[in-house]
Chains A and B, each alone.
Chain A
Amino acid sequence: MKEKDILIDYKDHQVVLYAEKSDNTIGPVQTGSYVTSHYYNEFLSLMGSLERSLYEKLQKGEISPVFLYMTLEELTVSELALRVKIPLRRVKKHLTVKHFPAVKVDELRRYAEVFNIPVANFFQVIATRQDNKWRMGYSADMENKKPLTISQEETNNPYVVFTKPEINQP
């Protein structure tokens, strides 16, 4: 691959590729990511539709919150069990609506740490984006037109989160 063939102007996702330079050497070239620059919207739409369908199922009581986050984070049950240090059989139970109420609070905290969310998020669905810049899956939604952002801050108590609605700056 020649250097000139891989150069892509995409500042948001930079990668280093190796390519043949004009002096016949092969060296590193910092450039934009081809896949992100061409398929980012496609990726957002795929993940957005998955997120929406999972939240719908959650609200209908068809899946447990643990199942929702495990699927969104693309973890398998075995990997999740290893990460939360809970026996596989027990994790499998926590994925079902029937057995989710049997999850202990400490176990929820461990799940929350793996999913990097506050414990409170297992019991609520927040309709507005949590973060204008980074939060994905809602970018094409009309809901984003609302001038509200919900931000959540950790407190020193691992079981409590500070949820703060804010008016977006124009």
Chain B
Amino acid sequence: MATARKLKAPSLYAVCAAVVGVGSFGSMSWSWFLSLATTLARPGAGHELSSSFYLAWALVTTGCGSLVLRTAGPVGLPRPALTWCLGLPQVSALLHRRSLRSRVMAAAVTGGTAGLAAMIVAWPVSGWLAGLPPMVGPLMGAALVSVTAAEQGQTPTGGQRARLVTTRAVSLIAVAAGLLTWYLASYDVITVGAGLALGLVGALALVVLAAGLGSWPAVREVIETGGIPLGELYRAGEVVDRVSASAVMMTTGFLEPTPARRRPIRFGGTARLTRGRAGWLALLDARRVLARWPELVVAMCLAPLVGSVTRVAGRDWGCVVLTMLSYALASRLARWFFAWNASPSLRFLVPFRDSSTTVALLAAPVLGVLMFSTAAVELAGLSPWWVASSLVCALVGIRRRVVEANKDADFALVISTPMGPLPYNLGLRLISGWDAAVLGGLLSFVLPEATVLPTIMFASLLYAGWTARAHKRPARRLEVNPTPQRAEQLQN
């Protein structure tokens, strides 16, 4: 039997980004579209709005949706996890997802919704062509889910890989064109992107549909067997092995997603300059981040969300979303930093001072957040101070998460609240990091623009000092009094 294909693993970050991003983006965009439709219904309203702006927004939405479905969609699980989730429903009740049929239907409805939204947006500039998205949308959503599921249920071929690459490439082009159009539209000099935009979306739809038709036998097999071909069920042994190994050896192997295959990381001539220094660690961390570029792309695709929130709900809420997304991205990129902090054995592998290692492992997250927040702030029209503010909030959030993770907390502690029992320490652990990001963003409600950054900096320094002092405080010593027999032995 051929080796199972290593598909993109749906990390917790990606799933959260998909759920939060798509959910919030979708709900807010609907309200936005409704208000837009109301505006357009008025005579002469078309002159008040830059239709290319909204067209670009629809294009970005479509591209992001395609990427999210491909990268972190409900069917983006690696094969062992898919087997576990779909093949062992009694055991995996908590992890069990909806059947493939339901997911295909949901994707079709989502695609139809997006298509309808695109029609409303595109109508003023494209006329009858705007009628295409509502028809193509459901097919595209259903095909995306079906094709991805089918690809997981069979040995990959060159053609499937090519289709996957093509779909992603077209999605990326759509997003890039949308962002460019959006940027130009903000200066009211655009009508250029309109035709290109619809063409790209149409091309994407055609590619996906062609892929779906080509994979129809596999799709049918997957649907008929309720989510996974029967012939593949023996692969559950792979899962059982990993679970057994995890249980017996107390490893976390099963809990960690299997990373996707990628090109090997190689060190070039510049790497030699950093050998033996913390820079070597930073360099490999950066290359590791770049090797997982789809995550970066998904993160960058969420940048327009800040602009959307700012326009719909106002500047203050835009700042909150900015700081939260910055922290989400930073915590995703700081996986090595978290791993190094959490694992004593990794600390023994790294020979550098803790301060040097910290700087090296935070370099990639800092750069990533700077890129994201710069783009988001530019798109949202926020003050440039928020680039620095969101970065500081993200770093404080990372620090909060590390500090809370290192605490020897009792997760069984439950406190009584009017809403019922609340697992206090567990809740604290879950929100640690996010709380710093939210609080930093909420400062925009109460402080003028120019004073937010100094306030955040001051609070961060206070927090850093407090945690450093807590760490330096000597731990409680457990003195052992020798037993009488041992005391006698020692005396002798």
Do the two chains belong together in a single complex?
A: no
Question: Residues of B with Cβ closer than 8 Å to A?
Answer: none
